[in-house]
Chain A
C-alpha cells in the first residue's frame, strides 16, 4: 500500500519524528517538550496513566491540534502545523477513543467514505452518475469489499452502524481507516471496552495489517498485556512528559514507569 505524494521511506527508517513538542490548553500543559520517533513498518505504542497526554499527542500528529512549540517531520517533510485534511492526504489515518463513525450510514458506506481522497472524478460526472464517475465507484467498491472480507464483517455490510454492538463498531472504524490505505495508522485505544475475545480478534487484525500491508501502526492502549505482546517499541508519557522509551522489556523494568503506574510514597 502506498499513499499518494511524498517521498518513499524504506522499512526501518524514521517515518515520523516528533521533536520538542509542547501543547497547552490555557494553563494546563497537556504535552510538555516531548520527542520520539516512529519507524517505518513497526508497531509503536504510546502508553501512560489517565491524563498523560496520549490522545493529545495523537491529535497533534493527525493535525487536530496545533502544538505551540516543536516540530513534526513526516516522510522527511517538517512542519509546524498541518490541517487534518492534509494529514489524511499525506497518508495518516486514525480511529478514535470513543468510536466516531457516521452513525446514520451503513458499514459499507462508512468504509467507502474512507476512499474519499482516492476518488477524484469531478462534481459534474458525479451529478450525472455516469461515465468515469460510475467506473470509479465500481473500482473502489471492489477494494472496499476486500477490506470487508479481511475484517470478516460481510454480514453487517448493509446495517446502519448505529445499530451495531460496540466491538463491531470499532472494527468498522478500523475498516474505514484501512480504506484510506494509510502509511501510518493511528489507533486510539482500539480495545477499550472490549471483552477478551474481541480483544484477541482486534490484536490479530492489527498484527495482520502490519504484516500483510506493511502499515506502520501507532497505538494508545491501556491493557498492558496487549501492549507488551503487540508492540515493537513503547513510549511512556506521564503528565505530558516523556518518562521512558524503548522495547517492552526495557519499559517494563523502568522505575519511573512503575512509579507512574503504581504511584510513589512521598
Chain B
C-alpha cells in the first residue's frame, strides 16, 4: 500500500503542494523537448525525401558547431563565421550527394544506412584533424544570444527562465514555421514532397533527384547548425554532443519517421515526460531515470500505435 501511495498519489500531492516547482519542471522539459524536436526534424527531412535513416545527423550537429566556433577562433567575426558555416554545410550536402548517394542510388536502404555510419566516422576523424579534440565554448554572446535569467514570481515561489532557453524556443518555432511554409508553398518544396511520395513519378515530371537530395541535406545541415548553437550554448561543443542524436530515436518512434508535426510533438512529449518523470518519480528508483525513461515511453507507445503519432498507416494489399 505504501509503495502504491508513493507511485500513484504522492507525486501529485507534491505537484499540488509546490506549483512553482511544477511550472519550473514543465518549462525545463519544454526546452529540452524543443531541442529534441530539432534533432528529430533533421532526421525526418532526410528520411522523407530519400528513405535514408541518417545516422550522421548527430555528428553533423557537432561538425556544424565546431566549424562555427573554429572559424571564430582563428579571428573571423561571428556573423561572417555563421555565414561561412552555412556555406560549409552546403558544401557537405553537395559532396554527400555526389560521392555517397549518387553511386548508391537504387541500393537497398540498409546499404545507405551503413553508408551514413561511414559518413559519421569520417566526420569524427576529419573534425578532430581540423579542430582538435578539445571541447570548445559556444560563441553565444558574439552572436547576440542573451544570457542570464528572468525570475518570475509565481504561486508564492520563483520560476527561473533562462533567456537562452526562451531564445531557443523562439528561434526553433520560427524555423519550423518557415520550413513548413517552404514545403507547402514553393516549387522546390512541392518537388521535395513529390520525391517523398514517389521517386519514379517525380522523375517522370522532370524533378531532379540529385538536386532535391542536395536541398534536403542542406536543410538538415542548417537544422544541425541551429541545434549545435543552441545545445552548445547550454553545455559546450565537443564530440560527445553527438550522443544527443540517440535521444532523437524515441522521439522519432513517437512521432513517426515521416511527419514533421510528429517530430515536434514527439520531442515535446519526450522532453516534458523525461523531466517530470525524473523529478517526481525518479527518487523512488534512486534517480537517474532520465537517461532511459524516453525509451520506455517510446516502447509503451509502440505497443498501441506502431506507426507513431502521425506516421502513415501502411496498408498493404496482398
A residues whose Cβ falls under 8 Å from a Cβ of B:
62, 64, 84-85, 87-89, 93-94, 96, 100-105, 109, 112-117, 119, 121, 123, 126-127, 129, 133, 136-137, 176-177, 179-180
Contact = CB atoms under 8 A, between A and B. Distances in A.
Interface stretch (B9-17, B26-34, B186-194, B288-296): B186-194
Given A101-B198, A126-B182, A109 B190 contact: yes
A117 B181 contact: no
A100 B200 contact: yes
Nearest to B211: A85
A179 B188 CA distance: 16
Q: Which 9 A-B pairs have the closest CB atoms?
A: A88-B206, A100-B201, A102-B197, A84-B203, A126-B186, A117-B206, A119-B187, A102-B194, A113-B194
Given A105-B194, A126-B187, A116 B201 contact: no
B201 A96 contact: yes
Central interface residue in A62, A100, A176, by most chain B CB within 10 Å: A100
Given A123-B188, A129-B185, A137-B187, A116 B207 contact: yes
29 contacts: A84-B204, A85-B207, A88-B204, A89-B206, A96-B201, A100-B198, A101-B197, A101-B201, A102-B198, A102-B201, A102-B202, A104-B196, A104-B312, A105-B193, A112-B187, A112-B190, A113-B191, A113-B194, A116-B194, A116-B205, A117-B206, A123-B188, A126-B187, A126-B189, A127-B178, A129-B181, A133-B187, A176-B205, A177-B204
Contacts of A96: 200-201, 204
Nearest to A179: B205
B142 interface: no
Interface of B: 178, 181-182, 185-191, 193-194, 196-198, 200-208, 215, 312
Contacts of A100: 198, 200-201, 204
Contacts of A179: 205
Nearest to A91: B206
B206 A85 contact: yes
B197 A126 contact: no
B190 A85 contact: no
A113 B185 CA distance: 12
B270 to A, nearest CB: 25
B206 A116 contact: yes
B207 A127 contact: no
A129 B204 contact: no
B273 to A, nearest CB: 29
B205 A117 contact: yes
Given A85-B208, A96-B204, A133-B186, A104 B215 contact: no
A179 B202 CA distance: 13
B208 to A, nearest CB: 5
Central interface residue in B181, B190, B205, by most chain A CB within 10 Å: B205
B198 A123 contact: no
Nearest to B218: A123
Given A96-B200, A102-B194, A126 B205 contact: no
Given A105-B190, A113-B190, A123 B215 contact: yes
Contacts of A177: 204-205
Nearest to B210: A85
Contacts of B207: 85, 113, 116
Contact of B187 (A94, A104, A116): A116
Contacts of B189: 126
Central interface residue in A62, A109, A177, by most chain B CB within 10 Å: A109
A133 B189 CA distance: 13
A217 to B, nearest CB: 16
A122 B75 CA distance: 33
Contacts of B190: 105, 109, 112-113, 116
Contacts of B203: 64, 84-85, 88
A85 B200 CA distance: 11
A88 B208 CA distance: 10
Contacts of B200: 64, 96, 100
Central interface residue in B187, B191, B200, B207, by most chain A CB within 10 Å: B187
Contacts of B208: 85
B203 to A, nearest CB: 4
Nearest to A113: B194
A70 B52 CA distance: 36
A138 to B, nearest CB: 12
B174 to A, nearest CB: 13
B206 A180 contact: yes
A102 B205 CA distance: 11
Contacts of A117: 205-206
Contacts of A180: 205-206
Nearest to B206: A88
B98 to A, nearest CB: 16
Contacts of A88: 203-206
B205 A127 contact: no
A133 B201 CA distance: 24
